[in-house]
Amino acid sequence: MQTNHTFRLQHKIHFSRCDPAGIIFYPQYFILFNDLVESWIDAILPGGYQGLIGERRVGMPTVHIESEFRAISRFGEQVWLELEVARLGNRSITLAWRCVGMDDVVRMSAVQTIVTTSLETHTSIAIPEDLRAALERAAPASG
């Protein structure tokens, strides 16, 4: 679902993501947000993430990430996973992520920079034009 340029999906915290205390084990957030990026690209780009990575051989590795863990998420809870484009460069995309509880408490937030690469040469490339156009439609008017 897309609202106000924020892509968000509701997610249930599964047992497999939790530590023995019954709270999400922090590295699992990175897996959840990688899945969210994939779902987002599927929603905004014809051919989706699989077409971009698997068929067109355009990589999207993370080159920088900063995160803040503010509150715990518990086994069985429903949360919102959100992302939006914070910056769109020539070869990079900076995303802002948030995990927000149904109580509107931010559980975790992060800023991630992704670089587009050729999976043949493993060097950075310009963001493909169709992806750029989709990202521009998904980004706030000021960004």
Q: What is the pLDDT of residues 70-82, one digit of tens each?
A: 999 999 999 999 9
Q: Is the pLDDT of residue 141 over 70?
A: no
Q: Give the three-state DSSP class for 12.
A: strand
**Average pLDDT estimate for 17-37:** 96
Among 33, 28, 35, 64, residue whose Cα is nearest residue 49: 35
Confidence of residue 140 (pLDDT cuts 50, 70, 90): low
Selection from 21, 138, 124, 13 nearest residue 87 by Cα = 138
- The residue ranking higher by pLDDT, 3 or 107, is 107
Q: What is the structure's pLDDT at 5?
A: 83
Band (pLDDT 50/70/90 cuts) for residue 2 is: very low
* Tokens encoding 42: 């599927």
**CA nearest to 3, candidates 40, 31, 48:** 40
Banded model confidence at residue 1, pLDDT cuts 50, 70, 90: very low
**pLDDT band at residue 83 under the 50/70/90 scheme:** very high
Provide mean pLDDT across the span 35-62: 96
What average pLDDT is seen over the chain?
93
CA atoms within 13 A on the CB side of 84: 13
Domain ranges within the chain, ordered by starting residue = 2-138
- pLDDT confidence of residue 138: 77
CATH number of 2-138: 3.10.129.10
pLDDT of 28 above 70: yes
Which of these ranges, 12-26, 55-69, 88-102, 127-141, has the smallest mean pLDDT?
127-141
Q: Distance between CA atoms of 113 and 92, rounded to whole angstroms?
A: 7
